[in-house]
A and B are shown apart, each in its own frame.
Chain A
């Protein structure tokens, strides 16, 4: 069974500072993808960044980067130069490549990020 753990219910960061949101995962499948989503109070889930299990380099997308440590099964999201608009819930998710499977994603419980001016 797949599992995503986000141990930080809430995080606070000063505007323009960097922040790391933790995510650990568990799967026995060698093929998997890790995703981070942002959910503002309005409800929509916004895709931020993706890391594949076979990728050699850490993914980056603008101010977002993913610190992928495969041996430790962690996929932490790093947001650089935080902005007030970054205040939202952040979800880590995983899809696995089980043979014949339906690639059902598993989500963590989320981390609430508040950016202070």
Chain B
């Protein structure tokens, strides 16, 4: 079975531009979440979606938005890019059945975004 897939792998953008990152969860997983990981830190939660509904939002500005599609894939959009948005963006999926708190997150390989 395929794991979580993210695209693109790397991306270079200029300040002020917009970017869309994509994620396909493991087959059967209905929950997708997004994380930003800057160098030297752990992942920071951005969004969680379950059954196409937003279930959580981290402390990120409104320039960050996301959505989940009927096939459970997801997009993360960032508008008006800043230099500080340069980071590894990770997508994770989980079964989210029963007690989700005991469901491990399965991560993709991430998208490395560089804003110049």
List the B residue with the shortest CB-CB distance to A89: B42
Instruction: Report B-chain residues with C-beta under 8 Å of the C-beta of A101.
Output: 56
Q: Which chain B residues numbered 99 to 116 have a C-beta less than 8 Å away from chain A? A: 99-110, 112
How many pairs of A and B residues are in contact by the CB < 8 Å rule? 76
Q: A110 contacts B104, CB within 8 Å?
A: no
Partner of A109, one of B41, B102, B109, B110: B41
Interface of B is mostly: mixed
Q: B110 contacts A52, CB within 8 Å?
A: no
State whether the Cβ of A32 lies closer than 8 Å to any Cβ in chain B: yes
Complexed CA–CA distance, A97 and B108 (Å): 24
With A35-B104, A43-B109 already in contact, the answer to whether A104 and B48 are too (CB < 8 A) is yes
Q: B45 contacts A47, CB within 8 Å?
A: no
Output the least CB separation between A89 and chain B (Å).
Answer: 9
Instruction: Report A-chain residues with C-beta under 8 Å of the C-beta of B112.
Output: 43
Interface residues of A (CB under 8 A from B): 4, 31-33, 35, 37, 42-47, 50, 52, 91, 93, 95-97, 101-110
Interface residues of B (CB under 8 A from A): 33, 40-45, 48, 50, 55-56, 58, 88, 90, 92, 96, 99-110, 112
**The 9 residue pairs across chains A and B that have the minimum distance between CB atoms:** A102-B56, A107-B42, A45-B107, A97-B101, A102-B55, A95-B101, A33-B102, A103-B100, A44-B109
